[in-house]
Amino acid sequence: MRFFLPLALGLSLLLAGCGQRMSPPPEEAPAAEEPAPVPEPKPLPAPEPVPEPAPQLEPPPAPADFVLVSDCVPGIRADLKYAGEDNFTGQVIYDFTEAYLRYGTARKLAAAQEILTAQGYSLLIWDAFRPTEAQFRLWEVCPDPVYVANPERGFSSHSRGNTVDVTLVLEDGSPVEMPTGFDDFSPLADRDYSDVPETAAANARLLEDVMTDCGFKPYAGEWWHFSDTDSYPVEEDFVPGK
């Protein structure tokens, strides 16, 4: 009986221990993940430069607008005789030294200049637009209708801005032989040419042919005088150089 008592007691303790739920061993905590590297920000591309607006081109002048001839006719020369004393009056008639014409007339003159330049020549302007005040001044100095238009009866076509007095020179400005000088009122100045040296006549004919082909009408009494076939009214307001 003593032998079974300890055995029974041990068996009871064993059964009691087996009846209890065995707790699973604690799980190990997962290792903490290292944070992903933060990408460095990429620099933004520089903004494209904004192109400047194209400059607005000014429209060309109207045919009747007055222009400085040298701005429209490359290489042309000018020696305005009435701006100094080298004219038939011996007096200054107007106070500007650059030639002005209507834009439409200046374009025709540019065409003539281009043709002559190709042949080694250039135009030389002796007179272009002549203000009405200058016409009165001419009449005051020389009141003779044979030589000067009486402004009380009508103005010279020079006051319309479509008439020009021109001669030929070489491209470098050297003179060439022509029938006469400016404002020569002798018969040698007309367009007959039979009474002047052949070289002078040939040069005058060349000038006349080119100017006529480019839209000018020659005046029979003066080999240097040409008017645009397009007419304009007498101009009383335009002041050259202002």
Q: Using one digit for the tens of pLDDT, what is the confidence trace for 1-27? A: 444 444 445 545 444 554 455 555 555
Q: How far apart are CA 83 and CA 229, in angstroms?
A: 26
Q: Is residue 23 part of a domain?
A: no
- Strand partners for 169: 122, 175
Range of the domain at 134: 66-228
Q: Is residue 124 part of a domain?
A: yes
The confidence score (pLDDT) of residue 56 equals: 74
Q: Is residue 218 part of a domain?
A: yes
Residue 208, domain CATH:
3.30.1380.10
Instruction: For residue 194, count other CB atoms closer than 10 A to its CB.
Output: 6
The confidence score (pLDDT) of residue 27 equals: 57
Catalytic residues: 222
pLDDT digits (tens, 9 = 90+) for 27-76: 555 555 666 666 676 776 777 777 777 777 788 899 999 999 999 999 99
Q: Is residue 167 part of a domain?
A: yes
Rounded average pLDDT over 211-234: 98
Counted domains in the chain: 1
Q: In whole angstroms, how far apart are CA 140 and each of 91, 100, 133, 166?
A: 11, 23, 10, 25
Q: pTM above the 0.85 mark?
A: no
* Amino acid in position 99: A
More confident residue, 149 or 225: 225
